[in-house]
Amino acid sequence: MDNAFARKLLIDRALVPDETAVYREQTTAFRQKFGREMGPDDPFFFDPDADTPQFRGPQDAAYAIEFLSKLMAEAGVEAAAIYAFRRTGGLFPSDAMPLDALDLLEWNAAVYEYQEKLDHTRKQ
């Protein structure tokens, strides 16, 4: 995953990336590892064990989803959307990248599941 999703998420929410704690945490880690600022072509989720900026492997998808969930919360994304993002393994509908019918069903089911859990908690 590149910088684009994280930056777009923040810009769409009218936030400056460098003023967001979790974004700053990642860019600081990059600077400490590689001794320079992260460029637009550098991987946002870089492999901390590589000698040069490399994308993390697919086995690290859970790390990216957890990190982006924190970024989404800090950016003010609704809790139901964050839950669905995590529950679906990273789906997130947008005008630029609409979900296909099956992914949209999965997304809606996750949002519904969140709302059901919330309603159940309120009733207790």
**Using an 8 Å Cβ cutoff, are 22 and 29 in contact?**
no
Q: Which residue has tokens 């992914």?
A: 103
CA angle 17, 46, 48 (to 5 degrees): 120
Q: Does 109 lie in the same domain as 96?
A: yes
22 and 58 in a single domain? The answer is: yes
pLDDT tens digits, 3-48: 555 556 555 555 555 667 777 888 899 999 999 998 888 888 899 9
Least Cα distance to 38 among 50, 23, 60, 20 occurs for: 23
Query: How many independent structural domains does the chain possess?
Result: 2
Coil vs helix vs strand at 24 = helix
pTM equals 0.71
Q: In which band, very low, low, confident or very high, does the pLDDT at 83 lie, cut at 50, 70 and 90?
A: very high
**pLDDT in the model for residue 61:** 86
For residues 68 and 98, state if they share a domain. no
Residue 69 and residue 82 in contact, taking contact as beta carbons nearer than 8 Å? yes
The whole domain housing 55 covers: 1-77
Q: Are residues 31 and 73 in the same domain?
A: yes
Q: Which of 71, 91, 58, 62 is nearest to 26 (CA)?
A: 71
